[in-house]
Chains A and B, each alone.
Chain A
Amino acid sequence: MLILECPYCGVKAEETELHGGGEAHLVRRGPDSSDDAFESYLFQRQNPKGVHFERWRHAYGCGKWFHAARCTATLEVFGTYSAQVSEPPQQIRDRIAARRPGWSWSDQG
């Protein structure tokens, strides 16, 4: 069972109260991008065994979208944070690095 604390209302919501929104921090590619970049934006997703950044919505609660960083293999949750950022905050990165030595945000994507 996955429990994520909504950073907006502070509720520790169980997975069935949430709606998954897929991979976080995608960079949008528009009409002026190359076909390859646009295809990648639309269809290519990471599928790591390990650290992953995701979008979630507190659907049966305050209704807000937020971000979560967790491990897909162990379900360890490194933290949840605001939806209004395009990269994970330093605090979250530090927490992941402490738990997964050698991990770094710059290796992502």
Chain B
Amino acid sequence: MSEPVSALSNASFDGLVHVQEAGLHGMIALRGDLDSEALQSAVTNSAGVGVPAPRTVVFDGARGAAWMSPDELLVFCPYPEAGATLAQLTDALGGAHALAVDVSDARAVFEVRGPRMREVIAKLAPVDMSAAAFQPGTIRRTRFAQVAAAVWLVDDAEARIVCFRSVAPYMFALLCTAAAPGGEVGMF
């Protein structure tokens, strides 16, 4: 049996913030009618959390769901449980018009932690990172320099970023560059 490895094997960097490739996560892309009873109960039963409100995430430990678009969620679970969670979700959806796919090995997750977290992200994404505009629990799909990503705040000092696994080295290099000592802006 081969050993699963994350995109950058938990690579980390300490500069203006702590940057860390956050390892393996179970991730299931789910598309369907988010308002439907069938999808909502399927998510509650298999993901262990309710369907998040638009532009928000809900987490209960390692399990959670992120709102990705008006008809798309990204469901999180422990990596080894992705297969079982997907099977449970698919089963619960029954005949409902929906699509659930295990994307755990097609995405990378990064953690950006420290008091200058907002400043480092603001250098890379065209998003208002002020505390008034971007609060913990909010998710925003955007771009980090040239690659697509989704970013949400765990709390006022920690952000999580999901991007395609194929661009993980690029994302890590971006974050390290933006967090290089000497690059303080003092914006937030």
Contact = CB atoms under 8 A, between A and B. Distances in A.
B70 A60 contact: no
A61 to B, nearest CB: 5
A97 interface: no
The range of chain B's interface size is 10 to 19
Given A16-B126, A60-B141, A60-B142, A11 B70 contact: no
Nearest to A1: B126
B148 interface: yes
B107 interface: no
A62 B142 contact: no
The range of chain A's interface size is 10 to 19
Contact of A8 (B70, B126, B148): B70
Contacts of A11: 55, 140-141
A63 interface: yes
A16 B127 CA distance: 11
Interface of A: 8-14, 16-17, 60-64
Interface of B: 54-55, 68-70, 72, 126, 128, 140-143, 148
- Minimum-distance CB pairs A-B, first 8: A62-B69, A14-B126, A60-B143, A61-B141, A8-B70, A60-B148, A60-B142, A17-B142
